Each structure stands twice: as structure tokens, then as C-alpha cells.
Amino acid sequence: MIKRMGFVKRRDGMTLEACHDYWLNVHAPIVAKAPGVRRYIVSTTIVGEGLSYTPAYDGMAEIWYDDLAAMDAVGATPEWQAAREDAPKFIGSVDTLFAVEVPIIEAARSEREAWVKYCGLLTRRPGTPIDRFQAHWRDVHGPLVVAEFTTMVRYIQSHALPETYGTDREPAFDGVPQAWFESVDTIPKAILGRTGDERNTPAAQDSEGIFVQPIPVMVTREHVIIG
């Protein structure tokens, strides 16, 4: 399966709480009516709670389809058109990535809504071919992250679909690492932004070499609409 990732900033004048409330209680049920959607998760951004960072977005939607053709078929339905017409009521802007998941640390889905989820928004260094970037991220950088951030309970890399480059589906980012933790308290501070000696770890040094810095981040809670 593939998934469409939408990174949302709320409409001007709307509070974060009002945005999340409308999204979960009004908009998400409209999206869920669209035939052909295999899975649908809304992740709402956490602010405060002891976290010291500036979130890149107010939330993220992930919608799974069999393939791009199936996604296009869903987009042509009246149910999806209703969702599209409703979106401006809480969305100011949205950036999009069409991706495939690469599991690094897998875990039972049933536990995930009790956890918190970190997302990094990655852009590869200029001049790096996408196939080389994805292989390095998966096979070299992924294991370095696992070795450093030992409190992760789940870790998935979402890789941009190569066929979307140079099209009207040009990805907003080259990939999104998603790391789940049991609570806000178990999120390593370094994962939200490195300072001092934190820049000298193998994962940090590798990150400097393959990703544009600084990396925009967000910490969220998941809401499973269609599991």
C-alpha cells in the first residue's frame, strides 16, 4: 500500500484546540465515508507538556490506499469531494507527501494511541539521487538512530514515492521518520534538536551529512479513524 501524508497548518484566527476539535469530530468522519480508503490516522500536534520545541505543523493526516490509481479513484467520489469542500473550514495550508512505509522497529497497532509520535521532515542534501538517499537512510542511518534512541517503541521510515518527483505530486519532503515513545517523558531531548555534545554522536554526524539542517519536527498523538 501507499499513503498520502498531509501536513496541516490551521486557518488564520483559529486556536490549536479548535482546529483539533473540528478536525477530529467534524472533518475526519466526512473523510472516513470515502470508499477505497484502507486506513486513516489523524495525528494532532502536542505543545507544552514539558516539550521545548517549535512544531512545524499543527497536525498530520495519513491516508492509505492500494496504489496511486486507487487514490485517484477515491478522489473522484462525491464523498471525497465533500471532504475537500469542508477542509478550508479549519485548514489554512497543507503540504503533501506520497510515501511507502519502511518498518525499522515494528509494534502492535493496538498500543499506539496510548503513545506519542515524533515526526521529522527530511530534505536530502542537494545533489543526492533519491535512490541513494533512500538506501542510505534505511540501511545506514536507521540503525544508527535505533542504537542511540533506545526508548523508541516503534520506528517507521516513510519514503517518498520516486515516481512523484517532477510531477504535480512533487513531494514536500524526501521522507518522514516516525518514532513512537511511551510518553512525552521518554522522548530524548536530542531528537527535537541537538546542542553541544549531542552533535557528536554517530547518528548526529550522519544526519549532518545526508539531511538539510535544521530538521523541522513535530510531536503528536495519534487518533485512529480507520484502523
- 16-41 per-position pLDDT tens digit: 999 999 999 999 999 999 999 999 99
The rounded percent of the chain whose pLDDT value lies above 90 is: 90
What is the model's pTM? 0.94
Taking residue 188's Cβ as centre, other Cβ atoms within 10 Å add up to 16
User: Which backbone phi and psi does 135 adopt, to 5 degrees?
Assistant: -65, -45
| Rounded distance between C-alpha atoms, residue 3 and residue 27, angstroms | 19
Q: Hey, which residues does 155 pair with through a beta bridge?
A: 105, 179
pLDDT on residue 82: 98
CATH class of 2-226: alpha beta
**pLDDT tens per residue, range 197-223:** 778 899 999 999 999 999 999 999 999
Helix (H) or strand (E) holding 134: helix 130-136
Q: Looking up cell 503513545, which residue turns up?
A: 115
Cell numbers representing residue 73 in the block = 479513484
pLDDT on residue 178: 97
Name the pLDDT band for 114 (thresholds 50, 70, 90): confident
Select from 109, 92, 13 the least CA-distant residue to 57.
Answer: 92
